[in-house]
Every structure is written in structure tokens, then in C-alpha cells.
């Protein structure tokens, strides 16, 4: 069989994407550096299907129809470079290579230049949805050579999740646009996960709620405006009992959250570009603090604090927490989209943020009902600077900001950290404040470093010898 498309890298994501494409009617050539992974698919789930196993890259390339279309699902970093170094010389002008790993966007730009020099087409493709999404339909975020996308558009749109407003796949822009969008997607993911975890912590320590009771709350919240994948899986996790102990499994999981780097990259780049994303950054730092398990255990014996009980009406606390969760999650989306808008202007991506929101509506980890009003707001006003300035978010701010303040204050009084919620509140309060105390900071900078300042009453730049008084 001559294959329509090829997939390199037969870990879980690569295998599932190959099976997904085959299920859509395509013949798929597959290759993995270690032969066993390829055999596992060919002799297992791929037996009898239009799967063409190959055991070296020359054979893999020979199995593909022209122009060749290759999707690399190799772990980002040196592994991807090693595959491309061997793959590129085997291809011909006009062939397409797609990198579906979580590559850093700067690496994607470098690889695009390498492909250009060989006359190859190249796409950096963000893929979100985990192993289930890869098999049944992920959100796909391609960027790079437009001509390359046109040769594979049908394959990708059919492989992607079929959302309420079309396939969750769209060409996002030139260069590293696709991988940049995926990076920010993961930053938003970090922030939403941290916010849900903070809600769980307040319920557990502040209200002494059992996992099953918390599951009921999250399930109820998942029926309304906040409905989304992360709330859905949260209530399922809280209901799961360990088969060995019959205890809630979540309580047996070590409290040190790991990370693969994309959330960290999103924060680093936001700082480099001056994009306001404090809630995403707070989520990254919360994971870093969680990794200090030994230090935290020692500190818990030394550093005293209040008892974590909230001592308030449970129903009222939960109602306020729902409003706090809503505002924080919307703020996380806003901060990510703000970073994308700024990056698009600086890097020439030409991103349509309403289209990004549409692609995220299904298949991906941050899919939620909130993306419907977000897309609507961005469609009506593409240059919208702040989601809370548009309906329905402006009215939700008026409705819930007291709940967010109360939740943050109560958690702090009880010694329960809520960094995501706190940062969201501070960011929105800062954004809505007409005059911030940065005037004093600028005066201090001028005092010790002669950095100059501007005035509110006259044009120009000024410097003062402040110690002459």
C-alpha cells in the first residue's frame, strides 16, 4: 500500500493519531526508532487496518505518496532535531513535515529556516487533547508554511475534534504561530487547574468536606456557565476509590505537581514581551512550591498559623467560591489571549483570536462553555483589550467581584494559599484603577538611577535632583 500520510513516533499520542487518521479513511505509514513500538501497533490495534509499518526512515519515506506528508510525534527537543536531521535529506522539494510535539516556538522558527533551505514545507502543529483526544479528535493548531497546510488541510480537519462551530483545526499563521498558540493554551491550562485545586483545598481544609461531597459540588458547577473538561474530570477524580484501600485515590496521590515546560515557557515569554499574565505565572510558581515537599514538611513544624477552618456558612462559602472560580478562570483566558494578541503584533502571526477560541471549543484540555461568549466577544470586537469590558463578563464582574474578594480574604485568614485567585483579583483591580502608585516607583527610579519620568501636567521627559531639598 502507498500511504497518504506518515507518522513518526509511536508513543501513545503517535499511535492514537495514526489510528485516528486511518479511521477517517487514510492509509498511514508508521515508524519508530525502536522497532518494538512499531510492531506493537502493527500487530495489535493496527492489525488488519490501513497501517503500513516500516522499520527504517528510508523505507518509511518510500512508502509515502507524493508530495509526502509526514507528522513527527517525537518528544520535543533533541529527539526531534535528531529525527529531522535524518529525515530532511530523504525528502524532496515540496514535501511537508509537521512537528506535532510541544516544541518551543523558537525551535520551530529554526527548523522552518532549515526546511526552507531544502525547499521543504514545514508546519509547527500544536495538538491538545491527550491520548483520548488523539484517538477521537484533538484540537489542532497548525502554523508555518501556508502552502504546506493546504496540502494536508483535509487530513487535519477530519482528524480534529468536530466542534459546535466546525472542525477544531485552523491555519493560525506563518512561522511559529501554531506552537506559540499551543504554548499559551498550556499556560491557560495551568491557571485553570490551579484555580480548581485552590477551590478543592478550601473545600477540604476550610470546610472539612469529603471528596464525594466535593464531587457533587464540582458536578453541579459543571452544569452551568463554567462547564468544561477540567471540571468534568475533577468530579470524576474525586469519586474514584483506590481498589486496594477503598479510600479516595486523590488523597493518596503525592502533592507535588510536575510540569513539562510549556507553562513555564508561556510565563517566561510573557515577561520578555511585557504581556500581563500573572495568574498563569502564579500557577507555575505554585507547582514549583509544591515540589518543595521536604522543605514544606519541615516548615509545617516550625511556622505557625491560623487553623484552616473557615467558620462560615458552608452554602454561602460555596456560592462565593463559584463566583471566585468563574472570575479567575475568565481572567486566565483573558491573560492568555492578551499575550497572543501582543505576540501576533510583534511576530507578524496575524492571529484571529476569535478563531483561536473556536479551535479551543472542543478536543483540547481547556475546552469549556466559556469559549462561546469569548468567541462572540472577540468576533464582534477583534481588538477587544480586556474580556471584562464586554458582555457578559462585565456584568459577571459586577455580580461576582465581592465573592472573589470574600473567598480570597477568607482563605488568607485561614492560612490557605490561593495564589491564582489572588493574582486574578489583583490584576483586575489594577486594570480598573485609573491611577496606580507607579508614580512613586518612577520617582524612586529617577532618584537612584536618573531614569527620568513624565508628568501628568506637561509634555516631555524630566529629571530631578531629589536630594537637593
24 is known as an active-site residue = no
Cis amide prior to 392 (ω within 30 degrees): yes
8-state DSSP, 468: G
Any residues with CB less than 8 A from the CB of 345 and at least 6 apart, and which? none
> Residue 1, Cβ neighbours under 10 Å: how many?
11
The pair phi, psi for residue 73, each rounded to 5°, is -120, 40
Centroid of chain to Cα 429:
24
22 is known as an active-site residue = no
Q: 3-state DSSP call for residue 395?
A: helix
The catalytic position among 189, 198, 320, 355 is 189
- The Cα–Cα gap between 126 and 24 comes to 20
Centroid of chain to Cα 262:
8
Cα dist. 298→201, 255, 294, 304, 305 in Å? 20, 15, 6, 12, 14
Please list the residues that pair with 140 across neighbouring strands. 127, 169
Q: Where are the alpha helices (DSSP H) in 243-392?
A: 262-273, 278-290, 293-299, 314-347, 353-359, 371-380
The catalytic position among 22, 182, 204, 320 is 182
Which residue, among 235, 230, 198, 197, has the nearest Cα to 216 in the 3D structure? 235
Residues taking part in catalysis: 182, 189
Amino acid at each position: 500500500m502507498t500511504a497518504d500520510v506518515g507518522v513518526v513516533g509511536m508513543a501513545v499520542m503517535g499511535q492514537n493519531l495514526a489510528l485516528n487518521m486511518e479511521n477517517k479513511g487514510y492509509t498511514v505509514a508508521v515508524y519508530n526508532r525502536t522497532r518494538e513500538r512499531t510492531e506493537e501497533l502493527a500487530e495489535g490495534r493496527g492489525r488488519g487496518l490501513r497501517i503500513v509499518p516500516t522499520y527504517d526512515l528510508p523505507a518509511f519515506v518510500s512508502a509515502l505518496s507524493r508530495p509526502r506528508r509526514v507528522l513527527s510525534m517525537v518528544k520535543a527537543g533533541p529527539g526531534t532535531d535528531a529525527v529531522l536531521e535524518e529525515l530532511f535529506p530523504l525528502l524532496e522539494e515540496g514535501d511537508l513535515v509537521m512537528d506535532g510535539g510541544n516544541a518551543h516556538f523558537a525551535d520551530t522558527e529554526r527548523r522552518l529556516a532549515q526546511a526552507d533551505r531544502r525547499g521543504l514545507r514545514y508546519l509547527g502543529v500544536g495538538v491538545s487533547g491527550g491520548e483520548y483526544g488523539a484517538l477521537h479528535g484533538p484540537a489542532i493548531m497548525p502554523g508555518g508554511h501556508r502552502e504546506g497546510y493546504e496540502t494536508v488541510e483535509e487530513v487535519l480537519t477530519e482528524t480534529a475534534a468536530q466542534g459546535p462551530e466546525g472542525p477544531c483545526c485552523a491555519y493560525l499563521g506563518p512561522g511559529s504561530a501554531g506552537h506559540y498558540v499551543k504554548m499559551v493554551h498550556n499556560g491557560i491550562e495551568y491557571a485553570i487547574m490551579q484555580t480548581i485545586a485552590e477551590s478543592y483545598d478550601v473545600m477540604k481544609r476550610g470546610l472539612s468536606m469529603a471528596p464525594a461531597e466535593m464531587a457533587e459540588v464540582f458536578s453541579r458547577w459543571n452544569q452551568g456557565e463554567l462547564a468544561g473538561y477540567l471540571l468534568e474530570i475533577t468530579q470524576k477524580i474525586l469519586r474514584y476509590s483506590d481498589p486496594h484501600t477503598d479510600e479516595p485515590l486523590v488523597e493518596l496521590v503525592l502533592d507535588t505537581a510536575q510540569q513539562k515546560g510549556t507553562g513555564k515557557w508561556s510565563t517566561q515569554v510573557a515577561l520578555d514581551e511585557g504581556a500581563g499574565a500573572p495568574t498563569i505565572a502564579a500557577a507555575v510558581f505554585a507547582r514549583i512550591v509544591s515540589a518543595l515537599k521536604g522543605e514544606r514538611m519541615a516548615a509545617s513544624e516550625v511556622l505557625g498559623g491560623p487553623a484552616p477552618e473557615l467558620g462560615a456558612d458552608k452554602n454561602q462559602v460555596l456560592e462565593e467560591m463559584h463566583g471566585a472560580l468563574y472570575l479567575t478562570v475568565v481572567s486566565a483566558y483573558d491573560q492568555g489571549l492578551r499575550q497572543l494578541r501582543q505576540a501576533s503584533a510583534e511576530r507578524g502571526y496575524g492571529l484571529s483570536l476569535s478563531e483561536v477560541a473556536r479551535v479551543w471549543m472542543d478536543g483540547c484540555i481547556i475546552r469549556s462553555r466559556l469559549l462561546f461568549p469569548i468567541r462572540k466577544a472577540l468576533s464582534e470586537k477583534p481588538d477587544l483589550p480586556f474580556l471584562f469590558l464586554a458582555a457578559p463578563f462585565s456584568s459577571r464582574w459586577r455580580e461576582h467581584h465581592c465573592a472573589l474578594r470574600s473567598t480570597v480574604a477568607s482563605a488568607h485568614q485561614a492560612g490557605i494559599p490561593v495564589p491564582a485567585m489572588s493574582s486574578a483579583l489583583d490584576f483586575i483591580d489594577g486594570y480598573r484603577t485609573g491611577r496606580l502608585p507607579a508614580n512613586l516607583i518612577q520617582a524612586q527610579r529617577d532618584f537612584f538611577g536618573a531614569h527620568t519620568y513624565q508628568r501628568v501636567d506637561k509634555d516631555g521627559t524630566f529629571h530631578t535632583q531629589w536630594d537637593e531639598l
